[in-house]
Amino acid sequence: MPRALLVPFVLALALLAACSGRPDGGAKYRIAVIPKGTGHEFWQAVAKGARAADAELADLEIVWKGPAGEGDTGAQIALVESFLADGVHGLCLAPLDARALVAPVRQALRRNVPVVVFDSGLAEPGLGIVSYVATDNRRGGELAGEHLAALLHGKGRVLVLRYQVGSESTEAREAGCLAALARAPGIEVVSSDRHGGPDEAKAVEVSENLLATFGDRLDGVFCSNESSTAGMLAALQRDPRRLAGRIKLVGFDSSAVLAQGLRNRTVHGIVLQDPVGMGHQAVHAMHKRLTGQPVPARIPTGEVLATPENLDQPRVRALLFPGS
């Protein structure tokens, strides 16, 4: 190219890069958003929020992809590695396992690919991620435990059905609930070491085994995520002793089935998150980082206790049906 034409051409490229904000002068930042899974209604609501942020930001596009179920940590690690190989500009990640996902996140940071963690944290908080966007899960668990103790007037036999080993968010909820129950000296926790697992079918099986052991002498149950709560509800409803409604069930996260359980009082409380807000804020946090704006290290998304008494309040209803 003749020198007389080369200078204007270079200036035009520089102007394009400046306008786009991208370091390589491209039209849009490409962000991978990787949830723990895609099947639960919670993740579908997170996707709704992430896509809303995508629509608001002209210089950004997201790619939403996660494991089909929540039990495949290897698949989530492979997704992170695949997106890094594709050259994405940032990762928004909900780690399935707080320890197993540390190495892939380190790999991203070594490549100067920023990471926003949402929903569930990592075992090493000093890695250098952009921000952690999540519910205060410990407080959410405490809300559940306090509510369950109040339902039982401070006395009775309860069990805690855990979710899955390595899930930081649900482990914090379980710890919070147990701490709240411990403050009620008349409450006896008869079981707190069983895990419902990543899908409802497994949670039903575990719940039925627990009810076979404790059902006749059980007053309350706490479950720490959507699938374990739904699995326990199904087991209570199937039990020939008509345990549904009699045993106080408090869970975490909503679905159409659990919302109906609140309505008919077979579910007595659900701690709700804001999954739409979580997805929305995670993507916006990444956009701020990529465009040189300050981002808080921790972005709380709130937690609300839904009960049969308040489920029709506008704020509660919006969180009960976040995908609508």
Res 26: pLDDT: 66
What pLDDT score was predicted for residue 71? 81
Query: What are the boundaries of each domain within the chain?
Result: 28-134+274-301, 137-272
Classify residue 275 by its DSSP letter.
H
Question: What pTM did the predictor assign?
Answer: 0.86
Residues lower than pLDDT 50 in the chain: 1-21
- CA atoms of 34 and 289, how far apart (whole Å): 18
Q: Report residue 163 CA to chain centroid gap.
A: 12
Domain covering 137-272 assigned CATH 3.40.470.10 in the classification: no
Note whether 28-134+274-301 and 137-272 share their fold: yes
Q: How many CB atoms lie within 10 A of CB 12?
A: 10
Measured in whole angstroms, the distance separating CA 217 from the mean position of its chain's CA atoms is: 33
Yes or no: say if 229 and 249 are a contact pair by the CB < 8 Å rule.
yes
pLDDT of 23: 54
Sign (positive/negative) of CA torsion 15, 21, 23, 26?
negative
According to DSSP, residue 216 is labeled G
**Cα 55 to Cα 131: distance, rounded to the nearest angstrom:** 21
58, 20 in Cβ contact below 8 A? no
At residue 15, the pLDDT reads 34
**Measured CA distances, 52 to 59, 65, 100, 279 (Å):** 14, 16, 30, 9
Q: From residue 285, give the alpha-carbon distance in Å to each of 78, 107, 117, 168.
A: 24, 20, 10, 21
- Separation between Cα atoms, residue 211 and residue 35, nearest integer Å: 32
**CATH 3.40.50.2300 holds for 28-134+274-301:** yes
> Are 71 and 26 in contact, with CB atoms under 8 Å apart?
no
Q: Please name every residue paired with 195 in a beta bridge, in sequence order, or none if there are none.
A: 162
Cβ proximity of 93 and 84 under 8 Å: no
161 in Cβ contact with 222 (< 8 Å):
yes
CB atoms within 10 A of CB 212: 11
Cα distances from 104 to residues 75, 78, 278, in angstroms, run 12, 9, 22
